[in-house]
Structure 1
């Protein structure tokens, strides 16, 4: 309190003098404190507080309401463990720790309560949760913080190249070949560790001003990741930018609302593939998405993406981890808590065990996207009843994805700026915001 009147630009001598004067004036009041605050009053208030706390604690276990517990870590009060106690006692509680924030959390300049609520998936329009209907698109400030601050360096390393195919078959460096309105289903290859998703989402927000709703694995929404979920992290970012658990009901609702939807038929099997399996499509045999897309007249846009081998290399994959007792038990325990997505799929493509492969970073190359020519399903409702035609469209889509992957792998060899060194020199010359050129499509 004695330091409140000291200005930041004061000299050391001025600050010492003001502090001394302030402290002296406060000390003269100490003799009057006993008359202002009587001891019997203090004791009575402490007993009242103790009784009220006991009353509340005895009823915490019965609270059924959904609770979001926000905990700051940078304050002058002694840690009491109250957050951990409440988290254990409240049945339906989510917690987020803010280690570097003060005790006036809601008043911090860089804290946005709505952003946290959206990321934790507790925003509701009605009595029951609906991850599709309850979604609120990111604001400009949220977009700026995510892709201008949090993911800025990551995307500078990736330096993504976005290509699309026009109706006449010409490939251009933009998203001009992608429809402007939904419903659109983007179907493609899932790169190692799903490293391409954030670049794809950012590209559509910047150029199309559209949110791509990703059909994501349940691990992003439930599972034994409590410790990781206690901080604002990738899990919250995934939800904030429109991802929903992949299942038929959510897919149906998204198509019904004419959304841009992103689907990876290969799922976890592609994103966490084994050594030597890069750029292989592990799609199930059944045409999972074709019939539903046909029902709503969805435009299917196949796309290819390459670049994972320029950034990461798998050194310990699932085939090794499942033979290590500790890791095998951890993988088994973790996956038991997750809903089964492809229980009817037999064989390798149905093996969706979530794990964390050990990878080594490589000298960053570049990430490339190519969106193919849109496939219209409007007016071909017969695909809903003809399994043979539905399967043909499914295999055609997969073939297009594989062709685009081959095209990008071949053409990137012609990119003079594939190396991070050449890109850095280019941006040092033309500015950090300059678009780095690439190969001629």
Structure 2
């Protein structure tokens, strides 16, 4: 089991600079074309904030350009269009319906279209500017489409991606159609309208002189400040109108964009619709049973989105609802270049093409950019300057990963370092250098909780799911072997990852073989490996045995252990001790991580032999001894590494360039 990889290093929700654009309206299904400016390569850290702002601006620019094409009055009703970039997709891709926010244009996913189009059949709802369809009728329009598509494919889920007003629409449709398999993705839902400053805008807009209406967007562009205090304090609107007009922009950062698209009358209509939509959706929350993912921004100037996310999380079914927070993002989440909706869906295991998520058939491999983000989330990745050795078929030990078999099925079996810090470097290096996706068998606590409590939020482990981790168990191992996958297994699991003082590099494996016979059934190659380096990173000074002697910590450990799904509860010996706790670690100046992959062990041709209990146990003990040999080899060899110390590595890079590869000991 890949037990506890992310406790010290939680990853922020993954974001990447998305690819190109949308499509252009026809009468029924529309498409929009645009020219994208390629995002530049990786910037220096000092320039990241500036680059993020630039991408955010470009997202708005593209949105405005496409919106101007779509808001030309045509007298038509609300309708669906499918972006041109969404034409090529996986077989049996589920339907995704985008329900827009207050603008109603339908191009709010413009930065996401290309990636969404690879795995979804994507439709976007366009509500013309002059359209005055009441909210209940919009619900009916979406219902008709949903019902029609459900009849065509009952075994596929239907994704409803709603932004603010669209989130209310998604909730309403799901509440009225509990028999349909929905996946709801709600971005900054407007169910919080009654607690937002938006409700103050209606009297303010009505107070504007009619002569200002045609140039409302120009006024908003030139203004700055924040002064809705007059309204809150009950001062006469006539005496404060000039100040209020001046201060719209900073109070509502997004209004200049809306004013560019929406005239005053339409904006008033939309604000009134927000009020009715919020009430409509809130009154039906109790009947929603759909799988739901709530995305909330921390810098939303229009709605109290993070508080609303927490509220909805409590009201919607616990087992089907998850929340992800984006502290640095604003209201229009999908228009920010740093937000990648596909990566979010993959990281939360919300992508499925059937009734239930299948970790094999529904897995979408990570992209190089996603792997880069995973590496960035692991703050020690560059500091520990990982050394990897592998063994060729003739027994020759080489630097690098040339000895790793390219064709599966392959099973990597090794030791787990403290807190599972070894997993991410292994997965990322094999992907980056050999283009091999390794599916880590991970503890179920990375995917589900027995109950809510004090364990780290499940969002901390999204990066593991992006890299292809699956819950450990015989069924998933069988599926992975049957698909010729490369699989990572830590037989010591949590017991090794939460080891006691003085137990560095000690194996805590089950007495009986757990993987040999299944590996032999598929003729899988077993690659034993060892990894060392945790003792150069920190020292356990207060472990489980110390903690349980203190009543408070003993109670906390019991509570944490109850939250996590249980494994090996009936297994005897130390490996059965699955208590979840966090030892006190005295940090050190980081040394290096060393990996040594031994010679691949063949099971092909030995299928019948290794099905016998005695032979499989003998093979199992041989694998274990090989792992111990790899560990001993690394512990000896690292003493001869002139760059084991961080200071020596920094000096080398200062001399040879900070992107230069740091040497190590001679083999």
Normalised by the shorter chain, which TM-score bucket? Answer: 0.7 to 0.9
Query: What is the alpha-carbon distance in structure 2 between the residues aligned to residue 59 and residue 279 of structure 1?
Result: 55
Preserved CA contact (<8 Å) 2:447 2:458 = no
For residues 172-191 of structure 1, the C-alpha deviation after alignment (integer angstroms, 9 at most, x for no partner) is 10111111111000000000
Partner of 2:585: 359
Q: How many residues align?
A: 410
Where structure 2 has 5 or more consecutive residues not aligned to the other structure, the ranges are: 1-216, 224-241, 247-262
Instruction: Classify 1:53/1:417 alpha carbon distance in 2 versus 1 (closer, same or farther; 3 Å).
Output: closer
Q: CA deviation at 1:232?
A: 4.9
Q: Does the aligned pair in 2 maintain the 1:187–1:264 contact within 8 Å?
A: yes
Equivalent positions of 1:65-76 (< 5 A) are: 65-76=290-301
1:430 equivalent in alignment to 2:656: yes
The equivalent of 2:377 in structure 1 is: 150
Match of 2:626 in 1: 400
Matched-pair contact (CA < 8 Å) for 1:95–1:230: no
Q: Secondary structure at the match of 2:619?
A: helix
2:439 counterpart of 1:213: yes
1:39-118 paired onto structure 2 within 5 Å: 52-77=277-302, 79=304, 81-91=307-317, 92-118=320-346
CA contact (8 A) 1:187 1:265 kept: yes
CA distance in 2, matches of 1:378, 1:50: 66
Aligned counterpart, 2:221: 4
Deviations 1:113-161 (A, max 9, x none): 11111111111121211122211111122123332x333x521211000
Which moves more between the two structures, 84-93 or 252-261?
A: 84-93
For structure 1, the 5+ residue unaligned runs are 7-22, 28-35
CA distance in 1, matches of 2:396, 2:432: 22
Residue 421 of structure 1: aligned partner: 647
Post-superposition offset of 1:77: 3.1
Q: Distance in 1 between matches of 2:398 and 2:638?
A: 15
Structure 2 counterpart SS, 1:162: strand
Shift, 1:168, TM fit? 2.0
* Mapped contact 1:307–1:367 kept (Cα < 8 A): yes
- 1:238 corresponds to: 464
Give the match's secondary structure for 2:557: helix
Query: Quick one: distance in 2 between partners of 1:287 and 1:130?
Result: 26
Q: Distance in 2 between matches of 1:260 and 1:108?
A: 35
Matches of 1:230 and 1:339 in 2, distance apart?
A: 15
1:127 aligns with 2:355: yes
Q: What is the CA–CA distance in structure 2 between the aligned matches of 1:180 and 1:421, rounded to whole Å?
A: 36
Out of 385, 389, 394, the residue aligned to residue 163 of structure 1 is 389
Q: 2:348–2:465: 8 Å Cα contact kept in structure 1? A: yes
Q: Aligned to 1:386, which of 600, 605, 612?
A: 612
Q: Write the distance in 2 (CA, Å) between the matches of 1:37 and 1:401.
A: 71
Write the distance in 2 (CA, Å) between the matches of 1:383 and 1:192. 36
- Cα RMSD of the aligned pairs, angstroms, is 2.5
Q: Distance in 1 between matches of 2:264 and 2:482?
A: 66
**TM-score using structure 2 length:** 0.58
The question of whether the paired residues in 2 share the 8 Å contact of 1:97 and 1:231 is answered with: no
Distance 1:77 1:381, change over 3 A: same
Q: Which residue of 2 aligns with 1:32?
A: none
Residue of structure 2 equivalent to 1:20: none
The yes-or-no answer on 1:184 pairing with 2:407 is no
Cα deviations by residue, 1:71-113 (Å, 9 ceiling, x for unpaired) = 0111223637322221111112111011110000011010001
| Distance (whole Å) between structure 2 residues aligned to residue 100 and residue 227 of structure 1 | 24
Contact 2:411 2:486 in 1 (8 A): yes
For 2:280 and 2:338, the matched residues in 1 are separated by: 36
- Deviation for aligned residue 1:55: 3.8
CA contact (8 A) 2:303 2:331 kept: no
Given the alignment, which residue of 637, 641, 660 partners 1:411?
637
**Secondary structure of 1:429 counterpart:** helix
Q: 1:239 and 1:383 mapped to 2: Cα distance?
A: 36
Partner-residue secondary structure (3-state), 1:157: coil
Match of 2:493? 267
Alpha-carbon spacing, 1:37–1:412, altered in 2? closer, same or farther (3 Å): closer
Query: Contact 2:390 / 2:399 at 8 angstroms: preserved in 1?
Result: yes
Query: 1:136 aligns to what SS in structure 2?
Result: coil
**1:240–1:406 CA distance, 2 compared to 1 (3 A):** same
What residue number does 1:248 align with? Answer: 474
How far did 1:50 drift?
5.5
Preserved contact between residue 96 and residue 230 of structure 1 (Cα < 8 Å): no
CA distance in 2, matches of 1:387, 1:66: 44
